[in-house]
């Protein structure tokens, strides 16, 4: 499907591929079951080479990835069953198939070359550097901080409570609407620099006198009410009411879409899962293209997007 899209036809891509070595989703051609991280990374790079082709020259890619540990196959938590892993007792057979792992649980192949059991593989950064080497500009690493992470039965390291979102671009200059994603200013932003000139004595010319100028600006224009968005986003995983599993949180991808795609533009998600990217894009006046291998995932996405009646009719027409 991705290969059929025209060149430079989408404004941005917001997506989260299946994580390495965590689950068999029962679909031919799936990504994530490769024998080694190197093969997995090659597959990911190949997909995003096609994304590069369909992305406008001023487009951006927002890529969410979780990490894996070298060790036992398939161990994982239930927190991020968003696209892949459900609470089986609460779901129908279709929903079980339509769940999609969204946690960074332990679970790569135990015989991964070059890695010892219990090694953190570093998949997100390996992928990011591979994409950079393939021509992408690696512009930002954003931390998705989860205030309510699932507990882990570990005693020799901290409980994981974050994942990464990488912002990449095709070009040195690209579309990015900073105003659309500004966040409320806090008191320290408004006043921290205004009366601490003593501490700046002895600093270079670059910093000298900054407090005085800032105080004058505040007096002239008033304290700022917003600030440029920071790179740590605190977003709790969001349960999917229809199925008792967590999805790609809308609050996590909303800033990606608002900053990376203008109103009326098109957002691509080549790992569409349950369709959250489409929901958020449509809610904010953007078009969306979603690509998904698993027909059961497609059914859930169609229901969530209100497309099920049209999809059923289209299938009936195509089958006649």
Distances (CA, A) of 203 to 190, 191, 197: 22, 20, 11
Of 120-129, 237-246, 268-277, which gets the smallest average pLDDT?
237-246
Given CA atoms 246, 45, 60, 69 in this order, what sign does their dihedral have? positive
Asked if residue 179 has pLDDT above 90, the reply is yes
- Sequence-distant (6+) residues with CB within 8 A of 296 are 94, 95, 97, 98
Q: Where are the domains of the chain?
A: 2-182+229-319, 183-227
In three-state secondary structure terms, 187 is helix
Q: For the segment 86-103, what is each residue's pLDDT rounded down to a tens digit? A: 333 333 333 333 333 333
Cβ neighbours for 311, distance < 8 A, ≥ 6 positions apart: 298, 302
Tell me the pLDDT tens digit for each residue of 101-158: 333 344 444 456 688 888 999 999 999 999 999 999 999 999 999 998 888 899 999 9
User: With bands split at pLDDT 50, 70 and 90, how would you rate the model's confidence at 27?
Assistant: confident
The candidate with the shortest Cα–Cα distance to 44, out of 107, 126, 108, is 126
Residues 6+ apart with CB under 8 A from 183: 226, 227, 229, 230
State both tokens at 313. Answer: 């009719």
Tell me which CATH code domain 2-182+229-319 carries: 3.40.50.150
């Amino acid at each position: 499907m991705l290969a059929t899209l025209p060149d430079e036809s989408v404004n941005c891509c917001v997506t989260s591929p299946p994580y390495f070595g965590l689950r068999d989703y029962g679909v031919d051609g799936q990504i994530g079951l490769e024998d080694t991280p190197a093969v997995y990374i090659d597959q990911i790079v190949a997909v995003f080479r096609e994304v590069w082709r369909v992305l406008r020259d001023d487009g951006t890619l927002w890529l969410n990835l979780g990490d894996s540990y070298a060790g036992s196959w398939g161990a994982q938590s239930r927190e991020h069953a968003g696209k892949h892993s459900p609470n089986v007792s609460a779901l129908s057979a279709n929903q079980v198939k339509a769940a999609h792992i969204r946690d960074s649980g332990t679970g790569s192949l135990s015989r991964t070359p070059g890695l010892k059991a219990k090694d953190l593989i570093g998949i997100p950064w390996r992928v990011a550097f591979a994409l950079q080497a393939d021509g992408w500009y690696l512009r930002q690493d954003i931390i998705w901080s989860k205030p309510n992470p699932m507990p882990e039965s570990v005693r020799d390291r901290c409980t994981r409570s974050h994942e990464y979102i990488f912002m990449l671009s095709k070009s040195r200059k690209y579309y990015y609407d900073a105003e659309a994603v500004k966040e409320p200013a806090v008191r320290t932003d408004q006043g921290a620099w205004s009366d601490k000139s003593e501490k700046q004595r002895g600093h270079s010319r670059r910093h000298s006198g900054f407090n005085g100028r800032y105080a004058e600006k505040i007096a002239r224009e008033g304290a700022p009410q917003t600030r440029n968005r920071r790179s740590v986003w605190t977003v709790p995983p969001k349960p999917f009411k229809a199925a008792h599993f967590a999805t790609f949180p809308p609050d996590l991808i909303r800033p990606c879409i608002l900053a990376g795609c203008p109103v009326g533009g098109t957002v691509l998600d080549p790992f569409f899962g349950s369709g959250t990217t489409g929901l958020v894009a449509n809610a904010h006046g953007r078009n969306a293209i979603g690509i998904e291998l698993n027909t059961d995932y497609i059914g859930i996405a169609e229901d969530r997007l209100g497309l099920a009646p049209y999809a059923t009719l289209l299938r009936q027409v195509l089958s006649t």
